Amino acid sequence: MRILAIETSCDETAIAVLEASGGLGNPHFRTLGNTLLSQIHLHQEFGGVVPNLAKREHEKNLPIILEKVLKEAGLDANNPALDYLAVTEGPGLEPALWTGITFAQDLSKKWNLPLMPVNHMEGHIVSVLYGSDTTISWPAIALLVSGGHTELVYVRELGSYEILGRTKDDAVGEAFDKVARLLGLPYPGGPEISRLAEIHREKHNGDLGIPRFIFPRPMIHSSDLNFSFSGLKTSVLYKLRSLGDLDEETKEEVARAFEDAAVETLVEKARKALLSHEARSLIVAGGVSANRYLRKELGRLTADFPGLTLRLPEPSLTTDNAVMIAMVGYIKALSGLPFPDDEIRARGNLSF
Ligand code: KG4
Ligand code: ZN
């Protein structure tokens, strides 16, 4: 089955064509064409994503990317050999989502193909199925960590999701971005904070002595599976105010202390979810899953649960992309449910 998918929920314009086979039990995906245009450089000067700027860029880029992807996949632009179209309906920035949806609806009419609406967060979950190991043991706990979301989800099997906990305020990626801004680092801040923290850990070779800064781990001891990251960010803000001008070493140390707090909070909440729910896999996906320190600490967490397998997406699929949207499209197509295309609309706050 061939699916063309479109993703425009935030600041990445992406289209992919996937050849999928094997059914739900042993899905196999081959990318025939894939193009992603990041708008990061445009939003950088504003320190975050500007919805209307994102919309304008998506509108400009979609036709260009489509032409490129069809060419790469060897498909005829007037009558492409495809079975389905898929598009992200939410969650995300509504003006940005609408550009992808209307573009997909026009293609659906022009090519006479069914169009499936896809939940972006389901895309992040299934992104771990891409690659050589496409089977996964269910049930799973999914920790979704991105710029807009921080969620723990119980996945009984593909297509069956239940939210166990979520952030009450900022998402963890947002906290990385805000702390990076306080440190004068460019957007997106996650990779920058991670780079400084790594320099600090390497310099001290694991022996940090008595740390100068320890930031709070909000809600780490609460009995539920919710998160909160705004207090952590505020605590970094107050500390930086008291420090005045920062030398490079202090910046690195603040970045490390922040990353320690954020990662420990994520890992301990995932541990709590694993202790209270039977799971055979731990899925961790979304932009922040690229964080190397988080990956290392998740490895240690998994070692405490015999029989549990840790599943992470390939690095190129950690950030937003259209491959994961096409993968969900395949799963939905197999379910055989009808998709009324003209009812598809942008759902900024869509949840499982
Ligand atoms: O999933 P994603 O690409 O977009 C959203 O749906 O939000 O996630 C983007 C987020 C940004 O906040 C970015 O700073 C963060 O992922 N991020 C990281 C790293 N790489 C990206 N955070 C921490 N460490 C990283 N290495
Ligand atoms: Zn995302």
Say if residues 134 and 34 touch (Cβ distance below 8 Å).
no
Alpha-carbon dihedral 197, 199, 203, 206, rounded to 10 degrees: 40
Q: Which atom of ligand 1 is nearest the CA belonging to 177? A: 14
Q: Which ligand does the CA of 319 lie closest to?
A: 1
For residues 154 and 242, what is the distance between their CA atoms, to the nearest angstrom? 42
- Within 6 A (CB) of ligand 1 lie 10, 146-148, 173-174, 176-177, 188-191, 194, 286-288, 290-291, 319-320
Amino acid symbol at 188: P
pLDDT digits (tens, 9 = 90+) for 269-298: 999 999 999 999 999 999 999 999 999 999
Q: State which of 145, 176, 321 you would mutate to test the pocket of ligand 1, scoring each by most atoms of that ligand within 8 A of its C-beta.
A: 176
For residues 262 and 216, what is the distance between their CA atoms, to the nearest angstrom? 9
pLDDT digits (tens, 9 = 90+) for 5-18: 999 999 899 999 99
pLDDT digits (tens, 9 = 90+) for 110-122: 999 999 999 999 9
Q: Is the pTM of this model over 0.75?
A: yes
* Protein residue with its CA nearest to atom 23 in ligand 1: 190
Q: Which residues contact 179 (CB under 8 A, 6 or more apart)?
A: 189, 193, 233, 236, 254, 255, 258
Model confidence at 40: pLDDT above 90: no
pLDDT of residue 331: 93
SS3 assignment, position 140: strand
For residues 248 and 62, what is the distance between their CA atoms, to the nearest angstrom? 41
pLDDT digits (tens, 9 = 90+) for 185-239: 998 999 999 999 999 999 887 676 778 899 999 999 999 999 999 999 999 999 9
Burial of 242 (0-12, 13-18, 19+ CB in 10 A): exposed
E strands present in the chain: 2-7, 12-21, 28-38, 84-90, 115-119, 140-145, 150-157, 160-166, 281-285, 309-311
For residues 261 and 218, what is the distance between their CA atoms, to the nearest angstrom? 9
* Protein residue with its CA nearest to atom 3 in ligand 1: 319
257 CA distance to ligand 2 centroid (A)? 25
Say if residues 73 and 82 touch (Cβ distance below 8 Å).
no
* Protein residue with its CA nearest to atom 14 in ligand 1: 190
For residues 323 and 14, what is the distance between their CA atoms, to the nearest angstrom? 9
The residues placing their C-beta within 5 Å of ligand 2, an ion, are 146, 320
Q: Using alpha carbons, list the distances in angstroms from residue 179 to 47, 172, 191, 250, 338.
A: 11, 11, 12, 14, 45
Q: Using alpha carbons, list the distances in angstroms from residue 273 to 189, 243, 267, 279, 304.
A: 28, 37, 10, 9, 13
